[in-house]
Structure 1
């Protein structure tokens, strides 16, 4: 772009004033009108990028640029023009003289701004939001870096439409080869975190976070751990700003706390209402009344957090980094230019995404050191893969991580921590898509590389070894998995302590694996110990605690202690409904197990009603053909049979089997379970000849897929023999029983 200097024969680029993950920003001159402007250029999208992604990017850029260009208000950055030039998308904006709020805090060494300035900024932003919300536009990424204070005192909101463009692309299109990653959680509303509907009141919450930070010097939830930040937004009441800074006006304290209400309904009705409150308060000359200093005041930047209720957080939040907040040490060593051009903090500081650490000297004596820009792009692409994984889009995430792993290996070497981190994520996506053998090879490679470069007891090494154990379990190699888990646990206990969350996670996995080895009492005892420890360390309703309590219930069921299992599952389901929501998959999974327990206790009428409700909820949330919806329908059919309603049970089994065959395939284990349920229904209706044909289909498929001596294949042949017996074909039945018994003996001898 720098070589062309002239865009569309009109905009002459003068000098670069910012660079970020999506491109560059230039100070430019509009030759037609003779005025200075800022030109934001998105990175070229050439043939190396995915064509469908390129189409999505261009279409959404044009759509959002039109949105931004339609906004005309003194509190919103003016967009003059947009288009495409030589494959580069560009946006022409007014050139602003001033600093964004993030920079102002940096200039002030992370100290809060003057009270008068804070209130003035709040009022101006409120009026600007009132205008944009009236146009039906929600910003969705309001933060200090997106709010400019000009040299004349005017406050402007920046990146309307462009912020949404980044979010839309990041969450709804393929990210292979892109530099777009999930942003900071410090200013996200609870509904954004939960993936719920977002409207103008989400902007009001984000504004509350911004005002809290510029007034106190810290965000409302200033923690290094992203999980804790997100939990804070969802479940913890923020400390009033005046606790940090007593000279703040009382009305301002109330305004900020109203904006930070957990539900949209509790916040101000709209930005116009907020603006009127601020204007009226300023006109009345309200002044602060200092509060007495609290007896125990937390250190600056680390407010004490009251115990949170259990977090209602979706799976994509796990592993999320905190990102940049306004105050910190991430600014460039040299001050950025004053002409910020209405850009985000990433643009104005030139900081961009977190750069990967440089390779240790021992790893790069003969290697050309890649540029910081290359490392930053690879880091951003890595983060994009993580975002896809959090959304459950494992195949796409795997594509991204494989490409980044190959490029990092070329640029940094095979044992560089960043290269190994990419291979770790490749293994993770493989294990989540059923490719356990390939995942095992990746995790073995990562564990060996990390042990060489970091040592055997480094947390990253242990994490890779723990995933190795997990995929060994997926492959049915539970004895090997047990040994790896035991070794990792010993190292974690020695280096981290017995109640470190990572130690407890390893003990949880070991308890799970003990159950798969048939050591049920040991599995139950260890799971119970882990649940008790997690309750003490994390809280009774933390998702990890509930996962372990779920495992306790499973172990109780396998021990035949169904009454205790039922009560535990019910406790878990109630806690998950409160913490995660009634429709969260984990909540629905616990309800499914309640049905299993009721059936085992002979309470099939209750189980039937539970499954009817669960099928309705699964269908509404996940769709009629989702495997979990079909699992609930299978449970419903089984309990119809237990109530001797066999015609209905047979119809349900046939319907579920047909959908499973279409969705999962004819030989999938779930399909075969449904086919067997058809045979059971036929048998109970006295149609033994028809049942025999279906039982044989199941047995043959299981032998073909699993092997003749697999327990499920043997169970299928046992069903077939029983059917022969019912048909009076005793000699054939006896011969088949003998063959099954012989295969079981041989299989047992091999296992020892």
Structure 2
């Protein structure tokens, strides 16, 4: 009799767990950004610790929910990831573990320029159930892709571009000194928040982080499987370095440098340095002609914007966009030094001279004069 009761109790609990999971998956699939959230938007177990409030973002296989800890009342952001077909395959599970590792490292080092875990141990991976979640610090802000889409003011000013680059590079520095790359640097993966009366920027989404230096990288993150290298999603293609199209398993830290250069170019001009009509044509647009140089950021600005844009920053972006990785900045710290020098110069009294030109044949001379005179120190 006792055995039958115990068996019945276990079966009932299993049925309850299955029903709770089914309710969660249904809520996950039907969730939309901005919706109010309920306990069903959190997986069983996590709902006992957190009180869901709002769906902040909904992707195809991921969802971010604003929630409050039942104990203490702290607001957090919960990133939920659900497998496409019931369970995570081995490469996807490895990618999630790498993301968790980087979040732990960024949290332990108190990196202010990246999104972090809300306390260590705030990660759970259930490969067979096809479910993973991260409990993150809640950051009030918008990603830069959303900021650009909603902006009526046009391109971002050069000083703000410098701050954007500085903050992203601070976070990337931790990756590169550990033999890792972020693998997906782009405006959509940089959050803009208010901090001390000005904007600050935080790098996020480490799902494509991968080891590129087996000697420097932690052993747990070294993976010789070529499939483990970052797969370029459609949204990432415009920011991918030429070598990522040709041989991604040979990528180095300079691939992140290229992506940052494209990102600065994009927010500074509201245009991409390269254009393609379809995803299939991006490899041709970016890597088809390795001798062709990327356009200069100054050439995409109108006269008034160009006269105000820092020439030093334009040169930094140009070097970030060298198609040959050996001619590019090698690591984040090198770019940081160059950007910091631009910020230092921006703090001085300066004036700008813009040399306009109408005829294409006059362009080289105009550029030479512009380079010499732009932002000269006021006598």
Q: TM-score, normalised by structure 1?
A: 0.35
Residue number in structure 2 paired with 1:275: 336
Residue 27 of structure 1 contacts residue 37 of structure 1 at CA under 8 Å; is this kept in 2? yes
Does residue 129 of structure 1 match 2:172? yes
> For the residues of structure 2 that align with 1:290 and 1:228, how far apart are their CA atoms?
36
Deviation at 1:57, TM superposition (A): 3.2
SS in structure 2 at match of 1:79: coil
> Which runs of 5 or more residues in structure 2 are unaligned?
1-23, 28-39, 211-222, 361-379
Residue 188 of structure 1 contacts residue 206 of structure 1 at CA under 8 Å; is this kept in 2? yes
Does residue 263 of structure 1 match 2:263? no
Deviations 1:89-134 (A, max 9, x none): 1111111111111111112258311222112212222222223211
Residue 276 of structure 2 contacts residue 285 of structure 2 at CA under 8 Å; is this kept in 1? no
Residue 49 of structure 2 contacts residue 69 of structure 2 at CA under 8 Å; is this kept in 1? yes
Residue 140 of structure 1 contacts residue 163 of structure 1 at CA under 8 Å; is this kept in 2? yes
Residue number in structure 1 paired with 2:311: 250
Q: How does 1:292-441 map to 2 (within 5 A)?
A: 292-293=356-357, 295=359
> For the residues of structure 2 that align with 1:294 and 1:133, how far apart are their CA atoms?
44
2:92 to 44, 49, 57: 57
Residue number in structure 2 paired with 1:113: 156
More helix by share: 1
Residue number in structure 1 paired with 2:104: 69
Deviation at 1:79, TM superposition (A): 2.2
Deviations 1:256-293 (A, max 9, x none): 00000011110123211211121122212376542424
Does residue 188 of structure 1 match 2:240? yes
Deviation at 1:137, TM superposition (A): 2.4
Residue 185 of structure 2 contacts residue 259 of structure 2 at CA under 8 Å; is this kept in 1? yes
- CA separation of 1:195 and 1:78: change in aligned 2, threshold 3 A: same
> For the residues of structure 2 that align with 1:229 and 1:110, how far apart are their CA atoms?
29
- CA separation of 1:279 and 1:90: change in aligned 2, threshold 3 A: same
2:270 to 217, 223, 239: 217
Residue number in structure 2 paired with 1:315: none
Does residue 19 of structure 1 match 2:58? yes
> For the residues of structure 2 that align with 1:4 and 1:150, how far apart are their CA atoms?
26
SS in structure 2 at match of 1:70: helix
Residue number in structure 2 paired with 1:499: none
Residue number in structure 1 paired with 2:374: none
> For the residues of structure 1 that align with 2:190 and 2:263, how far apart are their CA atoms?
9
Deviation at 1:84, TM superposition (A): 4.1
Residue number in structure 2 paired with 1:158: 204
> For the residues of structure 1 that align with 2:271 and 2:151, how far apart are their CA atoms?
13
Deviation at 1:14, TM superposition (A): 1.8
Deviation at 1:244, TM superposition (A): 1.6
Q: How does 1:491-570 map to 2 (within 5 A)?
A: none
> For the residues of structure 2 that align with 1:294 and 1:90, how far apart are their CA atoms?
56
Residue number in structure 1 paired with 2:368: none
Residue 163 of structure 2 contacts residue 200 of structure 2 at CA under 8 Å; is this kept in 1? no
Q: How does 1:40-51 map to 2 (within 5 A)?
A: 40-43=79-82, 49=86
SS in structure 1 at match of 2:272: coil
- CA separation of 1:215 and 1:87: change in aligned 2, threshold 3 A: closer
> For the residues of structure 2 that align with 1:60 and 1:120, how far apart are their CA atoms?
30
Residue number in structure 2 paired with 1:79: 117
Does residue 237 of structure 1 match 2:237? no
> For the residues of structure 1 that align with 2:41 and 2:141, how far apart are their CA atoms?
28
> For the residues of structure 1 that align with 2:77 and 2:237, how far apart are their CA atoms?
28
Deviations 1:120-175 (A, max 9, x none): 21222222222321132210111110011102211111012x2348xx9xx838xx
Residue 58 of structure 1 contacts residue 89 of structure 1 at CA under 8 Å; is this kept in 2? no
Residue 205 of structure 1 contacts residue 259 of structure 1 at CA under 8 Å; is this kept in 2? yes
Q: How does 1:584-595 map to 2 (within 5 A)?
A: none
Does residue 39 of structure 1 match 2:78? yes
Deviation at 1:60, TM superposition (A): 3.6
Deviations 1:442-476 (A, max 9, x none): xxxxxxxxxxxxxxxxxxxxxxxxxxxxxxxxxxx
Deviation at 1:227, TM superposition (A): 5.2
Residue number in structure 1 paired with 2:367: none
> For the residues of structure 2 that align with 1:117 and 1:54, how far apart are their CA atoms?
41
More strand by share: 2
SS in structure 1 at match of 2:192: strand
Deviation at 1:225, TM superposition (A): 3.9
Which deviates the most, 85-94 or 262-271?
Answer: 85-94
SS in structure 2 at match of 1:83: strand
Does residue 139 of structure 1 match 2:139? no
2:227 to 162, 172, 196: 172
Which deviates the most, 246-255 or 85-94?
Answer: 85-94
> For the residues of structure 1 that align with 2:117 and 2:272, how far apart are their CA atoms?
30
Residue number in structure 1 paired with 2:69: 30
> Which runs of 5 or more residues in structure 1 are unaligned?
174-179, 297-752
> For the residues of structure 2 that align with 1:202 and 1:28, how far apart are their CA atoms?
35
SS in structure 1 at match of 2:208: helix
> For the residues of structure 2 that align with 1:110 and 1:191, how far apart are their CA atoms?
34
Deviations 1:405-446 (A, max 9, x none): xxxxxxxxxxxxxxxxxxxxxxxxxxxxxxxxxxxxxxxxxx
> For the residues of structure 2 that align with 1:102 and 1:289, how far apart are their CA atoms?
31
Residue 99 of structure 1 contacts residue 148 of structure 1 at CA under 8 Å; is this kept in 2? yes
Deviation at 1:190, TM superposition (A): 0.7
Which is bigger in relative contact order (C-alpha 8 A, separation at least 6)? 2
SS in structure 2 at match of 1:93: strand
Deviation at 1:58, TM superposition (A): 3.4
> For the residues of structure 1 that align with 2:59 and 2:322, how far apart are their CA atoms?
33
> For the residues of structure 1 that align with 2:133 and 2:330, how far apart are their CA atoms?
36
Deviation at 1:294, TM superposition (A): 5.1
> For the residues of structure 1 that align with 2:94 and 2:237, how far apart are their CA atoms?
27
